[in-house]
Amino acid sequence: MYDIIRDSSFGQVLRYFTGNRILLFPDELPGFELPSPTSEEKRIEYQSEASTIANFGKDVNGNDSSPDEEHAQGADIPVARTVSQPVHPVLTFNGIILVDWYTTGELDDKFYTFAVYIGSSIYSPGEGEIEEKFNVGPTAAALGMSLYVLAYGIGPMLWSPLSEIPVVGKNPPYILTFAVFVILTVPTALTDSFAGLLVLRFLLGFFGSPCLATAGASFQDMWPLIKIPYLMVIWAGFATLGPAFGPVVAGFSIQAKNWRWSQWEMLWLSGPIFLLMFFSLPETSPATILLQRARRLRKLLHKSNLKSQSEIDQAHMTAKERAFDALIKPWEINALDPAVLFSTFYTSLLYGIFYSFFESTPLVFPRIYHFNLGESGLPYLSALGALLAVGPTYAAYWHYTVERQFAKKGFGPQEDRLAVGLVGSCMIPVGLFLYAWTARSSVHWIAPTFGLGLSVGGTFLIIQSIFLYLPFTYPKYSASLFAANDLARSTMAAGAILFSRPLFIKLGVAGGVSLLGGLTIVCAFLLYLLYRYGAVLRAKSRFAEHD
């Protein structure tokens, strides 16, 4: 508990205002002595972020792993490179590392992600009332959701590079921006200006975005590479259920009260999560942790030449170079590498289709099946059923197939990560066509609902496989590629929210959804080609990791 409070933002604020006189680190306690370089205690070697995607302080098997701050620190300081601190107690059960604040930090990230993602679609049940109150059309009313989604794609282009700067770290962007997010929910719920509502919705998405692109990087800070897919299954589940639960949560309250209640519900959800993060979320960036320790040791030992590796690395990089790597390099790779371009397009298309459901279901369940506003959100619960089916299945596949293969002969070709995506690529068009052509009064509402869930489950599998394929294949550029992918997905989704309703009205739900389903069939074929011939593309790529 002491470590949790000390390493949290609350603890760091207390230390700052008390001149670091409370919540001391071991190297600040009276009588502390730096262990000798010949110490027989367990040691850790520093792994450069630029040369490996494995996590600091642990190998892909999970050996030599500890999330403890003292364990991680000290390894990156040249004079004391081989010196380590006593390891925080770690319990291992069936290969899963269990540590107090370790687990707390992961739960914080998932709740944080859920709160931000639910904010996008929680707005949608109130669009009809917003049309009437502000005297605007359906497309204008949909801008409140569209701008929110667009903004949480733009935000990571700033927050992700910022969080990679050791002097900043991951926690300050998380905490400060989420505090602004929580505060902004109040004027959003109170505004009487349509323009003000749109501006506030955009700002909500922008300030809520840090977790959406850097949560995966936080997991890499704490877990061995071979275990990350389990974390990603849970995190991606929260990210998927957020938008799916939005209409469920807001539908009944808006029906009983008004559209403002959806924004108050965002406050009631995000406020407690912010407090949980403020009091329990630790800094996870190894470079930041080591930098902080280097500063304390410089003060303790009175040696100004003690440097962390990140300080040495940063001294040789200009702000222009960092900006180029973060903002330009991912688009250069997209333009010159067909595999990356396809993965960006495919995930963007699926994201756009997912958000188009929020415009198509109001044309199906209220009009055809006579659901009221609250009941119209219930079909989105099919996403929960889909994730409960495919999530554990994917985890079992990883455990019984990939991990066992790794123990014998390593990870194998990078394209093996796409195998599960092939299954998902078949599920999506089946689900879309089922949803499109069974949405009629002569067919029970459970049929289109099942199609909805099937397409969500397939999307989940494809996103999981591609998001593992990218860091394996492009480890040096994975962080910036994820941020660029997030922007592309969000831009497509923001556009889909605006164009899908006119599309479905013009072609009908059956015709419009079938058009989207046809595009997913083409992408399924292209995904198979990438799985089959991806090694050939990698051999010709100047960005990819070669066998």
Distance CA 297, CA 56 (A): 20
Same domain, 368 and 259: no
Long-range contacts at 318-323 (CB < 8 A, ≥ 24 apart): 322/161, 322/165, 323/161
Residue 322 CA, distance from chain mean position: 22
Same domain, 248 and 371: no
75 domain-assigned = no
CA count, 13 A, side-chain hemisphere, 170: 27
Could you identify the residue written with the tokens 């403020």?
A: 278
Mean of pLDDT values over 195-208: 95
**pLDDT of 388:** 94
Instruction: Answer with the residue of higher pLDDT: 317 or 482.
Output: 482
| 192-201, 303-312, 459-468: range with lowest mean pLDDT | 303-312
Same domain, 488 and 520: yes
96-98 vs 91-93, strand pairing mode:
antiparallel
Could you identify the residue written with the tokens 């989420």?
A: 178
CA count, 13 A, side-chain hemisphere, 233: 21
Residue pLDDT, tens place only, 316-340: 666 666 667 666 777 788 888 888 8
Residue pLDDT, tens place only, 209-232: 887 766 666 677 677 778 888 888
3-class secondary-structure state, position 92: strand
CA count, 13 A, side-chain hemisphere, 109: 30
Same domain, 188 and 276: yes
Mean of pLDDT values over 263-275: 94
96: which strand partners? 93
| 170-179, 299-308, 464-473, 520-529: range with lowest mean pLDDT | 299-308
Instruction: Answer with the residue of higher pLDDT: 462 or 9.
Output: 462
Distance CA 476, CA 46 (A): 17
- Exposed, middle or buried by CB within 10 Å (0-12, 13-18, 19+), for 304? exposed
**pLDDT of 313:** 67
311 domain-assigned = no
Same domain, 407 and 446: yes
**pLDDT of 141:** 94
Report the domain count for the chain: 2
| 23-32, 40-49, 280-289: range with lowest mean pLDDT | 40-49
Q: In this structure, what DSSP letter does residue 284 have?
A: -
Task: Name the band, by pLDDT with cuts 50, 70 and 90, for residue 315.
Answer: low
Mean of pLDDT values over 384-407: 89
Task: Name the band, by pLDDT with cuts 50, 70 and 90, for residue 22.
Answer: confident
Percent of the chain with pLDDT over 70: 80
Tell which of 298, 313, 348 closes a domain. 298
Same domain, 260 and 189: yes
Tell which of 229, 263, 298 closes a domain. 298
**pLDDT of 97:** 35
Same domain, 175 and 101: yes
57: left (phi over 0), alpha (psi -120 to 50) or beta: left
**pLDDT of 494:** 95
Q: Is 60 a residue whose pLDDT tops 50?
A: no
Nearest CA among 285, 286, 279 for reference residue 108: 279
Could you identify the residue written with the tokens 């068009």?
A: 429
78 domain-assigned = no
Could you identify the residue written with the tokens 């994917």?
A: 394
25 domain-assigned = no
Nearest CA among 174, 175, 199, 188 for reference residue 267: 188
Distance CA 483, CA 327 (A): 9
72 domain-assigned = no
Mean confidence (pLDDT) of the chain: 80
- Residue 326 is part of a domain; what is its CATH number? 1.20.1250.20
**pLDDT of 451:** 95
Same domain, 264 and 343: no
Mean of pLDDT values over 51-63: 37
Q: Who contacts 247 (Cβ-Cβ below 8 Å, separation ≥6)?
A: 121, 122, 124, 125, 358, 361, 376, 377, 380
Q: For residue 141, what are the CA distances in angstroms to 126, 148, 310, 515?
A: 9, 12, 47, 25
Whether this model's pTM surpasses 0.75? yes
58 domain-assigned = no
**pLDDT of 546:** 65
160 domain-assigned = yes
Amino acid (1-letter code) at residue 511: G
Instruction: Answer with the residue of higher pLDDT: 122 or 2.
Output: 122
Nearest CA among 474, 475, 435 for reference residue 458: 435
**pLDDT of 87:** 32
**pLDDT of 510:** 93
Domain that holds residue 274: 1-19+97-298
Residue pLDDT, tens place only, 146-167: 999 999 989 888 887 777 777 7
Structural contact between residues 474 and 320, judged by C-beta atoms closer than 8 angstroms: no
**pLDDT of 323:** 66
Same domain, 268 and 358: no
252 domain-assigned = yes
Residue 308 CA, distance from chain mean position: 28
Residue pLDDT, tens place only, 88-116: 333 333 333 334 444 444 556 788 889 99
Q: Is 511 a residue whose pLDDT tops 90?
A: yes
Same domain, 275 and 346: no
Same domain, 254 and 330: no
Same domain, 244 and 365: no
**pLDDT of 264:** 95
